Amino acid sequence: MILPKIDKKVLKLMKEVQNSEFCYVAIDFRNMKMHRSISDTSSSVQNAFSNTIGETIKYSVASLHASLNYLQDNQFIVKPNSGPVYQVTHIGWYQGFIRRSEVLHMLLTHVAFPSLVAFITTLLTLFIQR
């Protein structure tokens, strides 16, 4: 699946902030910043928000919400509770790798294998004609 440009950038930013598959991303919609959180509890989120260091989001609130909804619908991220906390899933974390493996599989099954069969068939035909 090819991600739209804004969704790809939001996912990339979330992965940079999350830093590992076991952390969370807390989004401060008021200041438009993403912060790393060690858990999805409200106290951990407040600690993350109190940290002045955070990745600035360069999109409008509406486009960010639309992007987050798209990423959730396609299972790239999950929202474990009702707060502004998200977690990049395994699919989201390895999205680029999965895409490359799908393309490689398609090339092997639809280009390389038929070409090999045609080449072997041609060799057999030439060998039989002699």
Specify the number of domains making up the chain: 2
Beta bridge partners of 78: 87
For residue 25, list its beta bridge partners. 36, 86
pLDDT band at 118 (very low <50, low <70, confident <90, very high): very high
The verdict on 50 and 87 lying in the same domain is yes
Q: Is residue 84 located within the same domain as residue 73?
A: yes
Whole-structure pTM value: 0.65
12-21 burial, b for 16+ CB within 10 Å, e for fewer?
Answer: ebbbebbeee
- Residue 116's domain comprises 95-130
Strand pairing class (33-37; 55-56): antiparallel
Residues 38, 80 within the same domain: yes
In angstroms, the Cα distances linking 103 to 5, 12, 23, 58 are 19, 21, 30, 31
CATH number for the domain that contains residue 66: 1.10.10
Tell whether 89 and 53 lie within a shared domain.
yes
pLDDT digits (tens, 9 = 90+) for 41-98: 777 777 777 765 677 888 888 888 899 999 999 888 998 887 888 988 888 888 766 6
Claim to verify: residue 129 and residue 82 sit in the same structural domain: no
Are residues 79 and 110 located together in one domain of the fold?
no
Q: Which pLDDT score, from 0 to 100, does residue 121 have?
A: 94
Asked whether the predicted pLDDT for residue 99 surpasses 80, the reply is no
Same domain, 23 and 80: yes
pLDDT at 11: 87
Are residues 63 and 15 part of one domain? yes
pLDDT at 58: 84
Helix residue spans in the chain (DSSP H): 5-18, 42-50, 61-73, 90-93, 95-107, 113-129
> How does residue 123 score in pLDDT terms, banded at 50, 70 and 90?
very high
What are the backbone dihedrals phi and psi of residue 104, each rounded to the nearest 5 degrees, phi first? -60, -45
Cβ(59)–Cβ(68) below 8 Å: no
Mark whether 27 and 85 lie in a shared domain. Answer: yes
